[in-house]
Amino acid sequence: MLKQELARCLRQAVVEAQQKGALALAALPEMLIEHPQNPEHGDFSSGLPLKLARAMRMPPIAIAEKISEYIVPPPQIDRLWVAPPGFINFTLREDWLRTQVEPILANGESYGNIDLGKGKRVQVEFVSVNPTGPLHVGHGRGAVLGSTLANVLTASGYAVEKEYYINDMGNQIDNFGRSLYARYQQCLDKEAAMPPDGYYGNYMIDLAKEIVQEQGDRFLSLAESEAASQLAKIGVAKILQGIKEDLELLNVNFDTWFSERSLYQGGQYNKAMELLQSRGYIAKKENATWFESSSLGEDKDNVLVRSDGSPTYFASDIAYHYNKFVERKFDLVIDIWGADHQGHVPRMKAMLKALGQDPEQLKVILCQLVTLRRGQEIVKVSKRSGDIITLREVIDEVGPDACRFLFLARSADSQMDFDLEMAKRQSADNPVYYVQYAHARIASIIRLAEQRKIDYSQGDVSLLTTEPELTLIRRLILLPEIIERVALTLEPHHLPYYSQDLATIFHSFYKQCRVVSNDEALTKARLKLVRATQIVLAKILRLMGMTAPEKM
Which residues between 329 and 368 bind RNA (CB under 7 A)?
339-344, 366, 368
Among 34, 226, 396, 450, which residue sits at the site for RNA (rule: CB under 7 A)?
A: 34
Handedness of CA 432, 435, 438, 440 (dihedral sign): negative
As a whole number of angstroms, the distance between CA 315 and CA 304 comes to 5
Contact in structure between 412 and 335 (CB atoms under 8 Å): no
Stretch of residues binding RNA (CB under 7 A), selected from 8-16, 42-50, 152-160, 270-278 = 42-50
Rule CB under 7 A: say whether 550 interacts with RNA: yes
Picking from 450, 434, 457, the residue whose alpha carbon sits closest to that of residue 506 is 434
Contact in structure between 470 and 508 (CB atoms under 8 Å): no
Least separation in angstroms between residue 92's CB and RNA is 14
Least separation in angstroms between residue 218's CB and RNA is 29
Least separation in angstroms between residue 234's CB and RNA is 19
As a whole number of angstroms, the distance between CA 62 and CA 53 comes to 9
Centroid of chain to Cα 240: 23
Least separation in angstroms between residue 506's CB and RNA is 8
Least separation in angstroms between residue 214's CB and RNA is 27
Stretch of residues binding RNA (CB under 7 A), selected from 8-16, 20-28, 84-92, 249-257 = 84-92
Least separation in angstroms between residue 190's CB and RNA is 28
SS (H, E, C) 206-223: HHHHHHHHHHCCHHHHCC
Least separation in angstroms between residue 375's CB and RNA is 11
Buried/exposed 72-85: b ≥16 CB within 10 Å, e otherwise: ebeebbbebebeee
What is the side-by-side order of every strand in the sheet holding 288-291? 282-285, 288-291, 302-305
Rule CB under 7 A: say whether 4 interacts with RNA: no
Rule CB under 7 A: say whether 45 interacts with RNA: yes
Stretch of residues binding RNA (CB under 7 A), selected from 140-148, 233-241, 265-273, 437-445 = 437-445
Least separation in angstroms between residue 345's CB and RNA is 8
Rule CB under 7 A: say whether 282 interacts with RNA: no
Rule CB under 7 A: say whether 327 interacts with RNA: no
What is the side-by-side order of every strand in the sheet holding 362-367? 256-259, 159-166, 121-125, 332-338, 362-367
Rule CB under 7 A: say whether 65 interacts with RNA: no
Q: Is 136 helix (H, G, I), strand (E, B) or coil?
A: strand
Looking at the Cβ atoms of 33 and 546, the one nearer to RNA is 33
Rule CB under 7 A: say whether 441 interacts with RNA: yes
Rule CB under 7 A: say whether 64 interacts with RNA: no
At 137, phi and psi to the nearest 5?
-55, -40
> What x-and-dash track marks residues 151-180 binding RNA by CB under 7 A?
----------------x--xxx--------
Handedness of CA 441, 444, 448, 454 (dihedral sign): positive
Picking from 365, 483, 493, the residue whose alpha carbon sits closest to that of residue 116 is 483
What is each CA distance from 349 to 225, 320, 371, 400, in whole angstroms?
Answer: 37, 14, 29, 35
Contact in structure between 518 and 526 (CB atoms under 8 Å): no
Among 22, 50, 116, 222, which residue sits at the site for RNA (rule: CB under 7 A)?
A: 50
Q: Which of residues 126-155 bind RNA (CB under 7 A)?
A: 130
DSSP 8-state assignment for residue 550? S
Rule CB under 7 A: say whether 257 interacts with RNA: no
Q: Which amino acid is at 323?
A: N
At 324, phi and psi to the nearest 5?
-65, -45
Among 38, 213, 457, 458, which residue sits at the site for RNA (rule: CB under 7 A)?
A: 38
Centroid of chain to Cα 334: 10
Among 112, 134, 431, 492, which residue sits at the site for RNA (rule: CB under 7 A)?
A: 431
Q: Which of residues 402-421 bind RNA (CB under 7 A)?
A: 409-411, 413-417
Stretch of residues binding RNA (CB under 7 A), selected from 86-94, 214-222, 261-269, 326-334 = 86-94
Does the N-terminal peptide bond of residue 85 adopt cis geometry, omega within 30 degrees of 0?
yes
Rule CB under 7 A: say whether 11 interacts with RNA: no
Q: Which residues pair with 208 in a beta bridge?
A: none
Rule CB under 7 A: say whether 27 interacts with RNA: no
Q: Which of residues 193-252 bind RNA (CB under 7 A)?
A: none
Among 262, 437, 454, 466, which residue sits at the site for RNA (rule: CB under 7 A)?
A: 437
User: Other C-beta atoms within 10 Å of 226: how many?
Assistant: 12
Q: Count residues contacting RNA (CB under 7 A)?
A: 91
Least separation in angstroms between residue 318's CB and RNA is 12
Rule CB under 7 A: say whether 474 interacts with RNA: no
Q: Which residues pair with 213 in a beta bridge?
A: none
Rule CB under 7 A: say whether 253 interacts with RNA: no
Looking at the Cβ atoms of 205 and 470, the one nearer to RNA is 470
Rule CB under 7 A: say whether 42 interacts with RNA: yes
Among 151, 179, 293, 312, which residue sits at the site for RNA (rule: CB under 7 A)?
A: 312
Looking at the Cβ atoms of 54 and 190, the one nearer to RNA is 54
Distance between terminal CA atoms of the chain?
36
